[in-house]
């Protein structure tokens, strides 16, 4: 089931003294964030228009309407920003919104259940799926590549996973 809202950015902290914030974009085109505004906090309690947006090495700097100074910007540190899904473009083939992957069952090609997608991370070298394994609550990380995850079936609520040892062996 598709998420009604999609996380498109996260505030990293204040930038300067005039209420600007450091912003990490989760969109394919980071500067497109301005087109999707207003952006809402996770709890929906606050909403922001982007007055200005510029790239700086490794992140964006944004001036958000209603954030007048550094103090106000600091209170937003780590806030995740969401937009209603209908404001976003339909993903291209073989592209997925992270929100659509979370909760999918992870199965081997043989149909053995491995767990569920708990989260999707990107630490700078590509997307990584965090799988929650069975009832234990233990998790494992898996690079989200076509070699290790050859099939994503949103309609059936599952992904097919080739465990890394099987991929290395050429199976």
Compute the distance between CA of residue 149 and CA of residue 155 in angstroms, rounded to an integer.
16
pLDDT digits (tens, 9 = 90+) for 75-106: 999 999 999 988 888 888 888 888 889 999 99
Q: CATH topology for 5-86?
A: Elongation Factor Tu (Ef-tu); domain 3 (2.40.30)
CATH 2.40.30.60 location in the chain: 5-86
- Residue 152 in this model has a pLDDT that exceeds 90: yes
Backbone angles phi, psi at 70, to 5 degrees: -60, -40
CATH 2.30.30.240 location in the chain: 98-168
- Per-residue pLDDT, 78: 95
- Residue 115 in this model has a pLDDT that exceeds 60: yes
User: What class does CATH assign to 98-168?
Assistant: mainly beta
Buried/exposed 85-118: b ≥16 CB within 10 Å, e otherwise? eeebeeeeeeebbbbbbeebbbbeeeeeebbbbb
Does 94 or 11 have the greater pLDDT score? 11
- Per-residue pLDDT, 1: 45
């Amino acid at each position: 089931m598709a998420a009604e809202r999609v996380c498109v950015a996260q505030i990293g902290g204040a930038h300067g003294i005039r209420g600007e914030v450091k912003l990490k974009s989760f969109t394919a085109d980071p500067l497109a964030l301005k087109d999707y505004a207003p952006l809402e906090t996770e709890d929906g309690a606050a909403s922001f228009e982007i007055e200005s947006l510029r790239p700086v090495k490794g992140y964006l700097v944004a001036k958000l309407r209603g954030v007048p100074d550094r103090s106000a910007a600091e209170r937003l540190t780590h806030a995740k920003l969401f937009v209603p899904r209908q404001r976003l473009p339909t993903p291209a083939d073989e592209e997925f919104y992270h929100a659509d992957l979370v909760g999918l069952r992870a199965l081997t090609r043989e149909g053995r259940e491995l767990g569920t997608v708990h989260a999707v991370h990107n630490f700078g070298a590509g997307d990584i799926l965090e799988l929650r394994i069975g009832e234990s609550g233990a998790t494992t990380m898996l690079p989200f590549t076509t070699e290790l995850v050859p099939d994503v079936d949103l309609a059936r609520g599952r992904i097919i996973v080739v465990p890394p040892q099987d991929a290395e062996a050429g199976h």
